[in-house]
Amino acid sequence: MLLLIENSGLLVFWVVAAARILIPLTIPLFPLPGITGSMILDAVDQTIFQQFPGLNLQGYQGYDKALDIYYLTIAYISTLRNWKNHFAFKVSRFLFYWRLVGVVLFELTHMRWLLLIFPNTFEYFFIFYEVYRLRWDPVRMTKKYLVGVVALIWIVIKLPQEYWIHIFQGDLTDTIKTALFGYPADTSWGEILQTQPLMCLFGFLITGLALAALCWLLKQRLPPPERKLTFTHYEYQPSFTLEKSPGSAASVTRRVLNVSLLEKITLVTLVSLIFSQVLPGVRATDLQLVLGVAVIVILNTVLSEFLGQRGFGIKYALQQFIVLACANALVMLVYAVLRSAYDDQVIIANAIFFVLLFSLLITLFDQYQQVYLRRFNLDDKALQPQEVKEEFGTDEE
């Protein structure tokens, strides 16, 4: 019986871990449901694991922080394609990299106060924008309005939350168990539901009524909706088609060696540094990792430039991902052989993880960067507008 419980706990652990990797992949297609699902799973994963006392969760806190960055990175990359308000995008870029740098510094130094200085304001700003976009055109938001929203989120919401979680090291579910129900923090929610069902029902009703009241208040104060309700990215997006002429060698070089490449190297490097601190058995030094990631990103960008001449959209993005994954696997294989020559074996699971991570982030960035450049007239050679509605839809405002 004990063995059955342990196996069940291990199965639940891997199901939750897989969900934390797969659910964020829905963010580019369904931004608000995708990030909401990722947040909810992040909030309840340890509560789920507590139902299986035999699980060894040593070191999971580090994985938890890295997986948070994973879904935030996908959310940021999706703004390249989905966001039409350029100032809002630039604000989100700053907020994302501010948090990303803070998490890297925390992983390298383990100083918890750094997370208070670098709060995760990007996440709530992303949610605000996507909620606004459900019924209104986000282009109408002014710079003053957006700065006010960021200040409100940063000061009123995130600073107290970051202090509670990372300085005071409080846990909301544990506080509810001890303060509201009078149970020890390690008591399972199943036991609490069985012993105090009326109190739990009352709590659900109060929460539901509070949310209903908030929705009613917002409905009274907000202007009339300007568009139909939709949770997909397809609505109100421009349609693009690729100009397939490869151009001269000089033009190809300019499209590869540019500011976007520097951002891509920075993004993938910082995310990789975070995961390298929590994955077991990573022997490469931080400097070796930075240099290795830079080389891989440059090689992948050259490949992406030539693959990009074939087409644009989900089908071509999948093809690009497969090609980049194969190329990166070959690079990792060569690296593993060289390391083994010095009796320093590479852990296969880590190599596979980094191959998939590099390929995913670079593919998404390259595909969505094209939309960003064309939308804001930053590169008149990458994409051309198209009259007919295709994969990305048309502006229907």
Tens-place pLDDT, residues 274-324: 999 888 878 778 888 899 999 999 999 888 877 765 556 777 888 889 999
pTM given for the model: 0.84
Tens-place pLDDT, residues 139-158: 999 999 999 999 999 999 99
pLDDT at 236: 60
Tens-place pLDDT, residues 174-204: 677 776 677 776 676 677 777 877 777 877 7
**Residue 394 has which token pair?**
């048309």
CA distances 331 to 89, 245, 261, 325, 355, Å, are: 34, 29, 19, 10, 9
